[in-house]
Amino acid sequence: MLNNRELFLLNTAQTSNSPRLTEIVSAEGVYLYGPQGEKYIDLVSGFAVNNIGHRNPKVVQAIKDQLDKHMHVTVFGEFVQSPQVKLAERLVSLLPSQLNSVYFVNSGAEATEGAMKVAKRYTGRSEIIAANKAYHGSTQGALSLIGNDEYREAYKPLLPEINFIEFNKLDDIIKITTKTAAVILETVQGEAGIRIPDIQWIQAIRKRCDETGTLLILDEIQTAFGRTGKLFAFENFGIVPDIILLAKALGGGMPIGAFVADKKIMNVITSNPMLGHITTFGGHPVCCAAALASIDVILDENLIASVAEKASLFRKYLQHPAIKEIRGIGFMMCIQLDSFNQVENISKYCAENGVMIDWFLHCETALRLAPPLIIDEEQIEASCQVILDGVALYC
């Protein structure tokens, strides 16, 4: 009889030639557990999903409570469903007043796709500008926005009239014109190796969008819900987007995404044609119940307040001549090294010694640090020691 790893390779579509093949049977708090009792500190948080840790009791209870009522009943937007209504109300209450209409989807890529459609329809324009080394998802439209031709080339032709600017390059802002429907940016670039926008640059982007009638879409799929030390990352930079994209940590471990805009913008999908954007499972009631509980945990337990202090502990403990830089904001950080060989070997070493860490699509010379907000100092110190042992061994 084949074991789970063999079946995984046999029956599950593979995204690389060398999957990690770490089997996980349970998870709790900041820990992942393997079938033989292996225990790992999760410094990736399911790629910025598990901000409140794994299987938070309040989220689990909210899921169970909703399961006792109903699961899927109809396509999103037709029936009034309390979990959707309550979650939308909560999100709108936490966002600036012009972000007052929520469309729920299943993932970050779907949020990107919906926002692109709305921006084109609202402005009557077709050009969209993204940033080099951006990542907004892997569906056909979102892939068109990836600022790395290595990932786009095999799937061309993609969407036309997609142009790119350099992140933090002021001279590129002039590329935004009255032909541009939207500029879409990660508020903090993730897969580029954690690149933080200069305040002058991102505020100039906002100003240029206002001048040209262009919508500014901020992708907060990785950055929202406390990851940068603010509930939403744009709060760090003194700007407000026209559309915000949410997913990952929104669901507390359940799959859900959203794009949020002003109602006057969102209303373009209601007519000519009617049902201009639809989804079967978007706003699934169980996922919405989990998301509402997850937001409550973040706010009620004041998890964001300690993010900056805890992030400073990583910088304190991760001292080694081979570490070129620890770059980031809040719990969105990277350890800059010299080569992918170092990154790959250290990542494997850490996994073998109880710490899960990873790297980036567009910055393969850096290790990713994105721990749950609930991690404590003892866990931080222990995981940093494993990382340092790996650095000492392979650098």
Q: What is the pLDDT of residue 221?
A: 98
Cα 43 to Cα 358: distance, rounded to the nearest angstrom:
8
Cα 157 to Cα 289: distance, rounded to the nearest angstrom:
39
Cα 247 to Cα 253: distance, rounded to the nearest angstrom:
10
Is 87 within 8 Å of 251 (Cβ atoms)?
no
Which residue segments constitute the domains of the chain, with CATH numbers given?
4-55+302-394 (3.90.1150.10), 58-300 (3.40.640.10)
Rounded to whole angstroms, what are the CA distances from 136 to 189, 221, 247, 369, 375?
Answer: 10, 8, 11, 19, 27
SS (H, E, C) the chain: CCCHHHHHHHHCCCCCCCCCCCCCCEEEECEEECCCCCEEEECCHHHHCCCCCECCHHHHHHHHHHHCCCCCCCCCCCCCCHHHHHHHHHHHHHCCCCCCEEEEECCHHHHHHHHHHHHHHHHCCCEEEEECCCCCCCCHHHHHCCCCHHHHHHHCCCCCCEEEECCCCHHHHHHCCCCEEEEEEECCECCCCCECCCHHHHHHHHHHHHHHCCEEEEECCCCCCCCCCCCCHHHHCCCCCCEEEECHHHHCCCCCEEEEECHHHHHHHCCCCCCCCCCCCCCCHHHHHHHHHHHHHHHHCCHHHHHHHHHHHHHHHCCCCCCCEEEEECCEEEEECCCHHHHHHHHHHHHHCCEECEECCCCCCEEEECCCCCCCHHHHHHHHHHHHHHHHHHC
Cα 353 to Cα 372: distance, rounded to the nearest angstrom:
19
pLDDT digits (tens, 9 = 90+) for 222-261: 999 999 999 999 999 999 999 999 999 999 999 999 999 9
Question: Which of 274, 271, 257, 265 has the alpha carbon at shortest distance from 103?
Answer: 257
Q: What is the pLDDT of residue 11?
A: 84
Cα 153 to Cα 156: distance, rounded to the nearest angstrom:
6
Angle, alpha carbons 109-162-191 (nearest 5°): 45
Cα 96 to Cα 345: distance, rounded to the nearest angstrom:
44
Tokens linked to 119: 């921006």
Beta bridge partners of 335: 326, 367
**pLDDT under 50 in the chain at which residues?**
none
Q: What is the pLDDT of residue 170?
A: 97
Report pTM: 0.96
Considering just the CA atoms, what is the radius of gyration of the chain in Å? 21
Q: What is the pLDDT of residue 6?
A: 73
Cα 235 to Cα 5: distance, rounded to the nearest angstrom:
43
Is 95 within 8 Å of 232 (Cβ atoms)?
yes
